[in-house]
Amino acid sequence: MKRIKGSFKYIFLSIASLISVFPFIWMVIGATNTATDIIKGKMTPGLEAVNNVKMLLEMVDLPLVLWNSAKIAIISTVLLLLIASLAGYGFEIYRSKIKDKVYGGLLLTMMIPFAALMIPLFRMFTKMGLLDSHTAVILPTIATVFMIFFFRQNTKSFNRELIQAARVDGLKEYQTFFYIYVPTMKSTYAAAGIIAFMTSWNNFLWPLIILQTDGKKTITLVISSLSSAYFPEYGVIMVAIVIATLPTILIFFLLQKRFVEGMLGSVK
């Protein structure tokens, strides 16, 4: 009976894995076929991969678009990790009478949908003269309540005796943070870094609103413009999606072990 139950479990997990991986398989196969083949539902690899890449390079300045996405994602991730970890560290380590009230207020802002913030943000950045700039894309992403919450929760497992020892040894507060806290919490930083990079890399709505010049657009906006053509070249679009997916997959697999540790809240 146990063997039958075990077999059903593995069959169910295999089917679920296949369903979850299918979009990626279809994406890669589609990148090797023509638009007509994809529309017909062809599910076998074709011979059009090179032609699709050539067409993509003719239609899009791919190095510039990837550079725009990479620049925005890297700067956003670095600043977000710094600000969120400082906030999470401060909320958890330091004592204050109003700390929990301020933290509760921050958590309540998570209930506000981004759609409600778009118009005020757009008007603010327009008045600041930052419309159609990467700075306007980056600034709203450098401090999120979720990341502050994530760092504070992980800081609960941080050994406070290390801070006391650092203070006894004469380290200043910023030295304790950068020399003791940051290296100890590297798994948390890795997990948060992956989430922040993937979120920024895949960000679509806000860049669509704020970026207007073709030379400043990101890969997600370019893929969207390719699919809005009168007769979309689905093979070319699939190639663009494959290329856009590679950086996030690469970073995830490089930091996979740290990601799991960070999500579990472990401290090393």
Per-residue pLDDT reduced to its tens digit, 101-112: 898 998 888 888
Is the pLDDT at 267 greater than 60, yes or no? no
For 135, 173, 248, the CA distances from 253, given in Å and listed in that order, are 29, 34, 9
Helix (H) or strand (E) holding 244: helix 234-254
Q: pTM for this one?
A: 0.86
Nearest residue to 212 (alpha-carbon basis) of 101, 139, 126: 126
The percent of residues above 90 in pLDDT, for the chain, comes to: 42
- Mean pLDDT over all residues of the chain? 88
Give residue 268's pLDDT: 53
The amino acid sitting at 64 is L
Is residue 143 a contact partner of residue 80, using CB atoms and an 8 Å limit? Answer: yes
Question: Rounded mean pLDDT of 163-185?
Answer: 90
Nearest residue to 159 (alpha-carbon basis) of 92, 100, 83: 92
Q: Considering only 39-43, 47-51, 236-240, which range has the smallest mean pLDDT?
A: 39-43
Is the pLDDT at 266 greater than 70, yes or no? no
* 9 pLDDT tier (thresholds 50, 70, 90): confident
Nearest residue to 263 (alpha-carbon basis) of 194, 182, 188, 200: 188
Give residue 242's pLDDT: 92
Give residue 7's pLDDT: 79
Coil, helix or strand for 13?
helix
Region of 213 please: left (phi>0), alpha (psi -120 to 50) or beta: beta
* 138 pLDDT tier (thresholds 50, 70, 90): very high
